[in-house]
Amino acid sequence: MRLSQAGVVDLDAPIGRYMPGLPVRLHDITLRQLAGHQGGIRHYGGTEFLSGAPCETLTEGLPVFDDDPLVAAPGSKYAYSSYGYNLIGAVLENVTAQPFADIVKRQVLAPLAMDATLPDANGTVIPQRAQTYSISESGVEAAPYDDLSCRWPSGGYLSSTDDLAKLGGAILAPGLLDAASLEVMLTPQHTTSGTATVAGIGWRVSVDSRGRKYFHHGGSSNGGAAFLLVYPQEQLVVAMASNAFAKWGERDALEIASNFLDNSR
């Protein structure tokens, strides 16, 4: 959204304009569609959630899925895809001629002083980093090796709840983004048939049982999980993080939020 606001990319331009070397069937997908999970790109399959192969650029990770059939015509269906976000990252690297991590730091992390947020790069010594764990019926053990360098955009970052709260706070009012960009990002998209989806640009949009709008997104990676929820009208941000694959999410964040909301109405 920062690059769109600056005119560096057009959300509705075909990504083939920015990456001519992509397979032809991907050329007409737009950044808006990818960001709203309407690009038709598939999600993880089999053991793809774990990877041992590093990538110097995000483009190197695209062959995992870019030869596969689309799950739906672009724009016709909401279909969640982490690979779609990796494709966004590859496009942005190609447009700016900068590594994705540098783009994110310059456009988001530095302006918001999110000093505890960085890529989970193997071999990097990170002070106060938590050990990550896997939890199963057999018990708790250290999470297996995983190289996330091919998928920084879809779940390759380490952070803290303080930093996540800063990110959530950035959508409470214009600042990092202007009012027009916030409106675009936080408005649910529609499919080509006119059906409303649950997502704008990245953020999911929902209404609670009392009719209050909130924005949210969560996710997990090998040995970790996070969830971020924002009530814009109430100026409330809930940030959650775990150093294990946690089976919690929206319902739990809403329960935490309820302690700070006026539930008398």
The stretch 14-36 carries a mean pLDDT of 97
Give the per-residue pLDDT at 203. Answer: 98
pLDDT exceeds 80 at position 219:
yes
In this predicted model, what pLDDT tens digit does every residue of 89-128 receive, in sequence order? 999 999 999 999 999 999 999 999 999 999 999 888 888 8
Q: Which three-class secondary structure state does DSSP give residue 185?
A: helix
Give the domain extent around 231: 2-258
Give the per-residue pLDDT at 169. Answer: 98
Give the per-residue pLDDT at 236. Answer: 98
| Whole-angstrom distance, CA of residue 139 vs CA of residue 132 | 14
Residue 264 placed within a domain: no
Q: What is the pTM of this model?
A: 0.95
Rounded alpha-carbon distances, angstroms, from residue 237 to 16, 132, 175, 234:
37, 25, 16, 9
Domain containing 9 — which CATH number? 3.40.710.10
The DSSP output letter for 57 is S
The stretch 73-83 carries a mean pLDDT of 97
Between β-strands 157-158 and 139-142, what pairing exists: parallel, antiparallel or unpaired?
Answer: unpaired
Give the per-residue pLDDT at 265. Answer: 56
Residue 246 placed within a domain: yes
Which residues fall within 8 angstroms of residue 31, CB to CB, at 6 or more apart? 4, 9, 10, 11, 12, 13, 15, 88, 91
Give the per-residue pLDDT at 264. Answer: 59
β-strand partners of 204:
199, 216
pLDDT exceeds 90 at position 195:
yes
The stretch 155-174 carries a mean pLDDT of 96
Give the per-residue pLDDT at 100. Answer: 98
Residue 165 placed within a domain: yes
- The amino acid sitting at 176 is L
Spatial contact of 182 and 232, defined as CB atoms under 8 Å apart: no
Spatial contact of 239 and 129, defined as CB atoms under 8 Å apart: no
Give the per-residue pLDDT at 222. Answer: 85
Give the per-residue pLDDT at 51. Answer: 81
Token output for 151: 């998928």
Spatial contact of 196 and 188, defined as CB atoms under 8 Å apart: yes
In this predicted model, what pLDDT tens digit does every residue of 35-65 receive, in sequence order? 999 999 999 988 888 887 899 999 999 999 9
pLDDT exceeds 80 at position 263:
no
pLDDT exceeds 70 at position 260:
yes
pLDDT grade for 137, boundaries at 50, 70 and 90:
confident
The stretch 138-167 carries a mean pLDDT of 93
Count of the separate structural domains present in the chain? 1
- The amino acid sitting at 88 is I
The stretch 232-260 carries a mean pLDDT of 94
Residue 126 placed within a domain: yes
Residue 265 placed within a domain: no
Spatial contact of 14 and 29, defined as CB atoms under 8 Å apart: yes
Residue 133 placed within a domain: yes
Residue 263 placed within a domain: no
H or E element, residue 206:
strand 204-207
Q: Which three-class secondary structure state does DSSP give residue 106?
A: helix
Residue 186 placed within a domain: yes
Give the per-residue pLDDT at 186. Answer: 98
